[in-house]
Amino acid sequence: MSDASWPKAVLFDLDGTLIDSLPDIHAALNETMASYGEPPFTLEAVAVMVGAGVQALIERAYAALGKSIDPASRDKVVARYLSIYGPRATELTTLNAGASDTLRILGEAGFQLGVVTNKPRAETDDILRHFGILERMALVVGGDAGPRKKPAPDLLLFAAQELGLEPADILFVGDSENDVDAAKGAGMKVVALRGGYTALGADTLGADLVVDRLDEIPGQLHSLTA
């Protein structure tokens, strides 16, 4: 691995990394839960439920209410949530600071770019298209691609295979323990963004680099090649 050749690709998590989608997730979850007679959650409470996919979001919501939910009932609530979230996925969502410039700089430098998220592919594409960054992506892998979701490494290994690259040639950028654990499990170096959707501080996750803004990454790539 040398400064001149590494990385060949930079892959990003979506929620909490490229975008601040929490306001729309929060609103959709509360509308979903209200339709089942459940009380609303605060924004802060939902922030720590996000990151492991929609099934986990619903399971964590019921757990926060002190209730269990069987898989069949959970899947019905998941479908209800997705029907509410999909049409409003970009209503309150914003790009995170430096996201657009980071993608432009890395793309112009010749790195392949992609997104690997536990969010379903359809919503992911809609969001990336809304912000005008879908065309920058060589690859988009959603949580419904087939492999196990993060924190398992499977989605990242699938992305590497699709790109025709070795995992060691890829840098992954995320905001949570799910992202760091998945990248490490896949054999990729990983950058953690502070301020994301995690109950743990980014500095405690064991990432190879921790940044406050995405646009710090292009200037820090050399520090990761040692």
Active site residues: 13
Report which of 57, 51, 89 is spatially closest to residue 196, judged by C-alpha positions: 51
Dihedral angle over CA of 141, 146, 151, 152, nearest 10? -120
Query: 147: cis peptide before it, omega within 30°?
Result: no
Distance in angstroms (rounded) separating the CA atoms of residues 200 and 75: 28
How far apart are the C-alpha atoms of 161 and 40, rounded to whole Å?
41
Q: Rounded to an integer, what distance in angstroms lies between the CA atom of residue 13 and that of residue 197? A: 11
Which residue matches tokens 């953690």? 192
Q: How many Cα atoms are found within 13 Å in the side-chain-facing hemisphere of 170? A: 29
